[in-house]
Copies of this chain bind each other. A is one copy, B any other.
């Protein structure tokens, strides 16, 4: 009866969201969410920041701000990004309502229904939803341990019926795969995309959460490499380095792309929350952000290494994974004939929850993987929960 648009009819609720109610049970061990640990938020710093705001700053916080962001945060965030080597002066910065909004706005700027775009497989679920909501024809290229499969990417670009509108990648600590692209992969990627008239959306929500000094050269973002002949649209987020409840992310993009994105943003929500922008500004400007990242990096590294050790001890033969070098996730590779949704059902019975592989398949099919998040689970719970996951896997392997 109700005549909805064709684009909304292409959207489906995902398994992970259907499972949200389970995740709320108090005694369930959660390896499912991509949210920081509630106990790691810098509450004392935010208290101090709030209580030191002047009346004028509080007024700014309560008022509409410019579409691109409040000038205070634009200035301090530019300095933060410049330290990461990003070309802030040659590009335009826009504060967005979370980095998902940045990705969504870029999707709207480029995608007409039926347009081809290229993503990794697996892929961040929020990006998949955004691209589907504009009825993109999503073509996916597998991830290897070093980054996107370059040969398959070349083939995909050569054989695409329509030139892709963009390529969307998460080179640093991929969600869900945890992968860190090597510098060589990044360089080879630049060569492939250069002068192809195909913009690159580089999702960089996790690069501050590296664990090992020796990885630093690989962490350089493609945007910071300033490749010629590629419009790199760089997106980032405060969700992992301050708090997702602030709903603040950003895009750093070439001027001509920015112009279009600003018009879209004006029609979407006019501006991002000034209130949380003011808090984020003070957090960055004061330098508190650097100490905070140093602190949480240690916590997440410890959790990652705990989970890796527990997996190595408990997993049966034939299950593989790459130990993460940063970020929030471990991605288990299961035998071809195993369905991770079946494992998930068993795991929930045992009191532990994760996310099944097909959630991150842009085509919603491939299900012999699963994602374990260690970001919001303390070490003792990781040691308690991983044996239960391993048991569920063993049960399912036995059943097959």
Which residues on A are within 8 Å of B, measured CB to CB? 1-8, 11-13, 17, 20, 33, 35-36, 38-39, 41, 43, 46, 50-51, 55, 58-67, 97-98, 100-101, 104, 108-112, 115, 126, 129-130, 132-134, 163, 165, 197, 199, 231, 239, 242-247, 256-257, 260, 263-264, 266-276, 279
Q: How far is the CA of A33 from the CA of B63 in the complex (A)?
A: 11
Question: 30 pairs across A/B with beta carbons < 8 Å?
Answer: A2-B199, A2-B231, A2-B257, A3-B110, A3-B163, A3-B197, A4-B260, A5-B111, A5-B112, A5-B165, A7-B108, A11-B267, A17-B67, A17-B266, A46-B62, A62-B242, A63-B245, A64-B239, A64-B244, A97-B269, A98-B270, A100-B269, A100-B270, A104-B267, A129-B266, A133-B264, A245-B274, A247-B269, A247-B275, A268-B268
Contact B246 A129 (CB under 8 A): no
Q: Which residues of B contact A110 (CB under 8 A)?
A: 3-5
Q: Which residues of B contact A279 (CB under 8 A)?
A: 275
Contact B264 A8 (CB under 8 A): yes
Q: How far is the CB of A316 from chain B (nearest CB, A)?
A: 33
Q: Which residues of B contact A165 (CB under 8 A)?
A: 3, 5
Q: Which of A1, A101, A109, A267 has the most CB of B within 10 A?
A: A267
Q: How far is the CA of A270 from the CA of B98 in the complex (A)?
A: 8
Q: How far is the CB of A123 from chain B (nearest CB, A)?
A: 13
Complex copy number for this chain: 2
Contact A273 B260 (CB under 8 A): no
Q: How far is the CB of A9 from chain B (nearest CB, A)?
A: 8
Q: How far is the CB of A113 from chain B (nearest CB, A)?
A: 8
Contact B108 A275 (CB under 8 A): no
In this complex, what residue of B is CB-closest to A129? B267
Q: How far is the CB of A167 from chain B (nearest CB, A)?
A: 13
Q: How far is the CA of A131 from the CA of B20 in the complex (A)?
A: 33
Q: How far is the CB of A261 from chain B (nearest CB, A)?
A: 8
In this complex, what residue of B is CB-closest to A115? B5
Q: Which residues of B contact A130 (CB under 8 A)?
A: 267-268
Q: How far is the CA of A38 from the CA of B64 in the complex (A)?
A: 10
Q: How far is the CA of A1 from the CA of B256 in the complex (A)?
A: 11
Q: How far is the CB of A125 from chain B (nearest CB, A)?
A: 9
Contact A55 B43 (CB under 8 A): yes
Q: How far is the CB of A203 from chain B (nearest CB, A)?
A: 14
In this complex, what residue of B is CB-closest to A64? B244
Q: Given B7, B97, B132, B197, which contacts A97 in the complex, CB threshold below 8 Å?
A: B97
Contact A4 B109 (CB under 8 A): yes
Q: How far is the CB of A7 from chain B (nearest CB, A)?
A: 7
**Other than the known A133-B264, A247-B269, what 20 A-B pairs have Cβ atoms closer than 8 Å?**
A1-B197, A2-B197, A2-B231, A3-B163, A5-B112, A8-B263, A11-B260, A11-B267, A13-B263, A33-B64, A35-B64, A41-B62, A63-B245, A98-B269, A98-B270, A126-B267, A132-B267, A245-B275, A246-B273, A269-B269
Contact A245 B65 (CB under 8 A): yes
Q: Which residues of B contact A20 (CB under 8 A)?
A: 66
Contact A272 B247 (CB under 8 A): yes
In this complex, what residue of B is CB-closest to A61? B245
Q: Which residues of B contact A7 (CB under 8 A)?
A: 108, 112
Q: Which residues of B contact A38 (CB under 8 A)?
A: 59, 62-63
Q: How far is the CB of A100 from chain B (nearest CB, A)?
A: 5
Q: Which of A59, A245, A247, A266 has the most CB of B within 10 A?
A: A245
Contact B133 A62 (CB under 8 A): no
Q: How far is the CB of A254 from chain B (nearest CB, A)?
A: 9
